[in-house]
Amino acid sequence: MPNILVTGANGQLGSELHALSNSYPQHTFTFADRNTLDLGNLCKLEDYFDNNTFDTIINCAAYTAVDRAESDEELANTINHRAVSLLAKIAKKKNISFIHVSTDYVFNGQNYRPYIETDPSSPQGVYGRTKCDGENAILSVAPKNTIIIRTSWVYSSFGANFVKTMLRLGRERDSLGVIFDQVGTPTYARDLAQMILEILPKIKNESPEIYHYSNEGAASWYDFAKAIFELSGITCQVSPITTDQYPTPATRPHYSLLNKAKIKNEFGITIPYWRDSLRECLKELGEKL
């Protein structure tokens, strides 16, 4: 019975994997949160794997506070890059399959078509740069049976995210301004978790492969907010604003659509449309649709 370690167990993706784990009795799962396995503490990382045996690592742990990373680069680099490099070395040494979750922020957002896996990376901030460095570390170490999954705009019924923020603000305020000139695809973490568990037995490669996964379709943050309010029956008025009107410490990609053809073709999966998945998440949150 394969023994699977999920890091970042209390995050959105880790929580969704936990919720789905009972449907996969053929696997044994270990869910490690920051208290059990702190990727910020590299000294204890190898000790953990010397004392525990796993067949697969699903690395959901990351420093994801995009704006805070601009002033906390050392910790972001430790978690997103150095710890990932060490995990890759451990996976190679102990022959452990390795699934690492990355981000659309490795791109600069200036493309004119959905990004494919071989497009050159050009991150614009600390978060994207440290995640990109983590990817490159995996490719350099080159453990077998390893994949990198880039995703975007993740939300869930677990944790803090855009959907929950909009639900709260939409009920507190009569009107909101939401950015319309950043385009990507909202991704329901449950869909991402389900896909990972489905393809897990099929991962057999001599060197690491990169794949893109998000829900289908495209939206701006404005479109996303409008859909949340529409489906939830919230009457808050949403106005489109530009990125310049809502300055942040970190630069966001203006365009970060991901082409999913590779993962769909190689693993034979279908991917839900983002509005359909949003509806499912809102049901999980107890919204009366």
Please give the pLDDT value at position 40. 85
Please give the pLDDT value at position 2. 83
Please give the pLDDT value at position 289. 56
- Residue 2's contacts (CB-CB under 8 Å, 6 or more residues apart) are 26, 27, 28, 55, 56
- pLDDT tens per residue, range 30-53: 999 989 998 888 888 989 999 999
State the angle between helix axes of 221-232 and 274-284 in degrees (0 to 180), rounded to the nearest 10. Answer: 50
Taking 70 as the pLDDT cut, the residues of the chain under it are 1, 288-289
Please give the pLDDT value at position 228. 97
Please give the pLDDT value at position 41. 86
CATH topology of domain 3-161+186-214+258-272: Rossmann fold (3.40.50)
**Catalytic-residue membership of 127:** yes
Q: Which of 63, 105, 127, 155 is catalytic?
A: 127
Please give the pLDDT value at position 1. 66
Please give the pLDDT value at position 134. 97
